[in-house]
Amino acid sequence: MANIQLYHFPGSPACRSVRMTAKALGVPLELKQLNYHNKDHLSPEFTKINPDQTNPTIIDGHFTLWESRAIMRYLVGKFGGEDNSLYPRDLQKRAEVDRLLDYDLGVFRRAMWDNLMLPLRSRTSLKTTKQQDENVMKAFGRIDTLVKDKKFLTGNTLTIADFAVVVGFAAEVIYPGDMSKHPNAMAWYKRMQELPYYQEVNQPFYDLVEKMKNSVAENS
């Protein structure tokens, strides 16, 4: 099997969800790391590959694809066999996965980015405002409800929806509030962290957060 090339930022949630999908499928990736601060994604060379200048981007032979959710679906479709539970063929089960992928894109990931990640990059305090706290707690609360009686987001089987959401949920490491209010979500998060490939894929994000936290502390 020829390796698929993955252009990525190691700390990026979208890139990490693609890597977790590939790991779950046993699909080797040839990692092409881009440096965000050097604006590698804006270079003429990369723009020829992806005119939208976004990551993750994969090259599979003569085929190029970007947008993480499209890539995850593609990988399962190509390498997952006849009917893979990561993205099931059953129409209703698949619709549940798609709904959560859309929810993550339009609601959950935005809540994590706007209220935790983006402020961390620019503020001089690690505290959240009252409004940010309410937004974050609402988002975490929704995940807590989703997994109340389930091991994973759509049931007792892991899907690409879990990969898409958990990389955003990892921003809880930034949140200074009380996560014990969301025991179901935290149990699911721990379950995801116990996947054999979770730490390898997600450690760059935790390292990045720690670096940003230290920078904030030094400037406060």
The residues carrying an active-site annotation are: 12
Report the C-alpha gap between 129 and 21 in whole angstroms.
Answer: 35
Which amino acid would we find at residue 87?
Answer: Y
Host H or E run for residue 32: strand 29-33
- The DSSP output letter for 11 is T
Tell me the two tokens of residue 169. 């949920």
Phi, psi of 5 (to 5 degrees): -85, 135
Residues in Cβ contact with 115 at an 8 Å cutoff, skipping those fewer than 6 apart: 128, 132, 135, 136
Mode of pairing for the β-strands spanning 57-60 and 63-66: antiparallel
Q: 64: helix, coil or strand? A: strand
Instruction: Please report, to the nearest 10 degrees, the dihedral formed by the alpha carbons of residues 25, 26, 28, 34 taken in order.
Output: 50
Report the C-alpha gap between 36 and 14 in whole angstroms.
Answer: 14
Tell me the two tokens of residue 94. 């698949």
Report the C-alpha gap between 147 and 174 in whole angstroms.
Answer: 22
